[in-house]
Amino acid sequence: MAKRTGQVRVDDDRCKGCGLCVAACPTHSLSLSGELNRLGYHPARFLENTGCTGCGVCFYACPEPAALTVYLDRNVA
Ligand code: SF4
Ligand code: SF4
């Protein structure tokens, strides 16, 4: 049976640290970094091994073009 998992990459230079993706993620796979990016914002961070399903909700929640990229993996469970 195929189980879908995902990975998310955040482009720090495009992230404005609004937190909408963090709030929207159903698996709590995103958080805001404690560090500042070049724009002076706390960028989102993807948290490995937290059950990301690659659903894409974070992508659609993000108001900044190209700040988030979602990658899908298909593993055999
Ligand atoms: S793809 Fe879905 S599960 Fe994965 S981080 Fe984004 S909102 Fe969360
Ligand atoms: S929704 Fe987009 S701009 Fe806002 S914190 Fe997440 S990646 Fe950054």
Residue with the smallest CA separation from ligand 1 atom 1 is 54
What pLDDT was estimated at residue 42? 98
pLDDT score for 46: 98
**DSSP assignment of 42-64:** --EEE-TTS------HHHHH--S
Query: Per-residue confidence of the chain (77 residues) as pLDDT tens digits?
Result: 667 899 999 999 999 999 999 999 999 999 999 999 999 999 999 999 999 999 999 999 999 999 999 999 876 55
Give the number of domains in the chain: 1
pLDDT given for residue 54 in this prediction: 96
For a mutational test of ligand 1's pocket, the pick from 20, 22, 28, 30, i.e. the residue with the most ligand atoms closer than 8 A to its C-beta, is 30
Cβ–Cβ under 8 Å, residues 12 and 58:
no
For the chain, state the CA radius of gyration.
Answer: 13
Q: How many CB atoms lie within 10 A of CB 49?
A: 7
pLDDT score of 2: 67
Q: What is the residue range of 49's domain?
A: 2-76
CATH number at residue 62: 3.30.70.20
Candidates 59, 48, 73; CA nearest to 14 is 59
